[in-house]
Structure 1
Amino acid sequence: MDAKPNVKMIRIDERLIHGQGQLWIKSLGVNLVICANDKAAADSMQQSLMKAVVPKDIGLRFWNIERTAKIIWKALPNQSIFVVVSSPKDVLTLAEQGFPVGEVNVGNIHAKEGKEKVSQFIYLGEEDKEALRTLRDKFGCTFNTKTSPVSNDGEQSLEKLESILG
């Protein structure tokens, strides 16, 4: 069995990598960012925009969900990794394919019809809730809802998230 990869954080953010991501990269002290998203993995324009906000000395990979789950076990011991996905369902798919998932940062899920407000930045639909429940109940995941590493706005949101998930 390969050694467990050094995944510092998995963040759910519909915007994937953007300006705020720089704060997470610096705060976590990572040297590799994986954007695990089927669409972004195939969209060079989107990749170019995301590359612009990641420091040049940080590795950046755009892989689909399946490849991320497989290749993570090839990570070197000196790689500290920040994984960004766009939805709770993506994290669940990673977990179901053997990706090591511990704590998940539920960062930014936009408002849409049929979604329940958790915080200013987090709205969950039934599919989101079901994925998070499964992550918690089957895979033992824990969650945090910090919008950025420098904010302390996560506690109330986390309480609301936990009450919504039941």
Structure 2
Amino acid sequence: MPNILLTRVDNRLIHGQVGVTWVNHLGANLILVANDEVAADPVQQNLMDMVVPDAIQTRFFSIDKTIKVIHKAADRQKIFLVCRTPQDALRLVKGGVPIKELNIGNMHFSEGKEQIASTVSVDEDDKKTIRELLDLGIKVEVRRVPDERVEIDIKKFV
């Protein structure tokens, strides 16, 4: 069983909050980014690696590769799993990745989205996806950084 400490939805993927603040809080030694686009883009990977301390490993896998290899993770790997969208998280869960808790940290506002928290905006598909994750028994929270309290009760918005 892979040692997944937390799974986070953040459309920025790895940045200062993820690469330093969350990693230190969780005690993670591996950030696994599960995203099809970034898995195929070494430039984005290199930019994200710049904000991660040298002692922390990073992996950039497609959603399908994550599903295929996550169960081969070594016990010593303390994994912080990061994906861009709740839809990616749901694909991981449906693919057998043992996600118990989902932190939603950042989902940018765009046309057709409703802002439900300071850094989280959702459309109808996002709401449907989050409802499905909740129905599957996944604990879902909205929180930017570890030392702040959960910003909203997500169940009220989906």
Normalised by the shorter chain, which TM-score bucket? over 0.9
CA RMSD, Structure 1 to Structure 2 (Å): 0.9
Measured in 1, the distance between the counterparts of 2:121 and 2:15 equals 19
Structural mapping, 1:13-162, within 5 Å: 13-21=10-18, 22-137=20-135, 139-152=136-149, 154-155=150-151, 157=152, 159=153, 161-162=154-155
Q: CA deviation at 1:146?
A: 1.2
Q: List gaps (5 residues or longer) in structure 2.
A: none
| Number of residues of Structure 1 aligned to a counterpart in Structure 2 | 157
SS at structure 1 position matched to 2:82: strand
Matched, 1:12 2:9: yes
What do the CA deviations read for 1:9-64 (whole angstroms, capped 9, x no partner)?
00000000001111000100011110110000011110011000111111100000
Q: CA deviation at 1:67?
A: 0.5
Measured in 1, the distance between the counterparts of 2:124 and 2:92 equals 19
SS at structure 2 position matched to 1:76: coil
What do the CA deviations read for 1:103-157 (whole angstroms, capped 9, x no partner)?
10011000011111111100011111111111111x21011111011223x24x2
The code of the aligned residue for 1:16 comes to L
Q: Runs in 1 of length 4+ with deviation above 6 angstroms?
A: none
Q: CA deviation at 1:164?
A: 1.2
TM-score with structure 2 setting the length: 0.96
The code of the aligned residue for 1:141 comes to I
The code of the aligned residue for 2:156 comes to S
The code of the aligned residue for 1:38 comes to D
The structure in which a higher percent of residues are helix is: 1
Measured in 1, the distance between the counterparts of 2:55 and 2:132 equals 36
